[in-house]
Amino acid sequence: MNTRQKTFNVIGFIALLLAAILWLVPLLLVVMNSFKGNLFISQSPFALPDSDSFMAADNYTSGVSRTGFFAAAGWSLFITTCSVALIVLLTSMAAWYIARVKAWYTSVLYYLFVFSMIVPFQMVMFTMSKVANTTHLDNPFGIIILYAGFGAGLSIFIFVGFIRSIPIDIEEAAMIDGANPWKVFFTVIFPILRPTAVTIAILNAMWIWNDYLLPVLVIGSEYKTIPIAVQQYMTGSYGQKDMGGFMAMLVLAIVPIVVFYLSGQKHIIKGVAAGAVKG
C-alpha cells in the first residue's frame, strides 16, 4: 500500500469516526438526561448526572406507569411483527412472479411498485385515513394491511433484483422432479432469499416500530403504540413537561429496535448489495 492510499484511508477513517460521534452524541445525551431531574435538564443538559441531579430509576418508573408503556409496547410488537411477516411473505411471492413471468403487465406492476417508493406519504395520508375508516381498517389488525401496502414498493424492488440473479435452472430441475409452483417457491426459492428477506424484515421493522404518523391517523389513541404513548406523555397537565420521564421513555422505546438492528446489520449490507447490484 503506497503513501497516497494510506493517506486516503486515514482521512476516510477520521471522517467516519466524526460521523459516528455526531450520530452517537444525541443518543448519549438522551440516555444521560434520562437519569436527571427536570430542573437540571433545563439548566445543564450537557452535564453528567451528579449527586444533586441523579434521579436513579425514578424517571423510568414514573414514565412507565403514567404512559402505560408495556401495553403500548405490546401493541407495537404485535403490529410490527405481523406487518413485517406479511410484507416479507407477500412481496417475496409477488417479486418471484414479476421476475419470472415475462409479460407487459408484470413490467407495469413492477414499475408501479417502484413508483410508489417516491410518492410522499403526505400526498395520500388524508385519502388513506378516510378509506381506512370507511373499510373498517382503523384498528390494530387493519393497520397491518396498510403497512403491507406501504412497505411493498421497496421490498419488491430489492426482492426482484435478487431473484433475477438466481439461475432459473434450479426451478426447472425442481419442476421436472414433480414440484408444483408452491413447492418450488417455499422449498427452493425462499431459502435462497433468506439474506434478502432478513434485510427487508429489519428495514421494515425499524420503520414500523418508530412510525408515529400512520398509527395516529388510523387508530389514534385507542390502541396506543409506543410513539403515540411517548408523544402524549411529553406534555403534562397545564402544559408542564416532564422532560426526565420523556427522555426515559425515549430510551426504552429505542433499545429494542437498536438491539434488533445490531443483531442483523450484517444481513442488511449483504441483502441490499444482492438486490440492488446483481439485479
Q: What is the pLDDT of residues 227-268, one digit of tens each?
A: 988 888 776 544 567 788 888 888 988 888 888 888 777 766
Contact between 87 and 147 under an 8 Å Cβ cutoff? The reply is yes
- What gap in Å lies between CA 45 and CA 24, rounded to an integer? 16
Tens digits of residue pLDDT in 175-230: 888 888 898 899 889 988 888 898 899 889 999 999 998 998 888 777 889 998 88
Q: Give the CA-trace dihedral at 230, 234, 235, 240, to 10 degrees.
A: 140
Cα separation, 140 vs 61, in Å, equals 27
Residue 143: Cβ-neighbour burial (10 angstroms; 0-12, 13-18, 19+): buried
pTM: 0.85
Spell out the residues 6+ positions from residue 132 whose beta carbon is closer than 8 angstroms to its own: 138, 142, 143, 146, 218
Q: Where is 184: in which H helix or E strand?
A: helix 181-184
- Residue that has been written with the C-alpha cell 443483531 in this structure: 263
The domains located in the chain, with CATH, are 34-277 (1.10.3720.10)
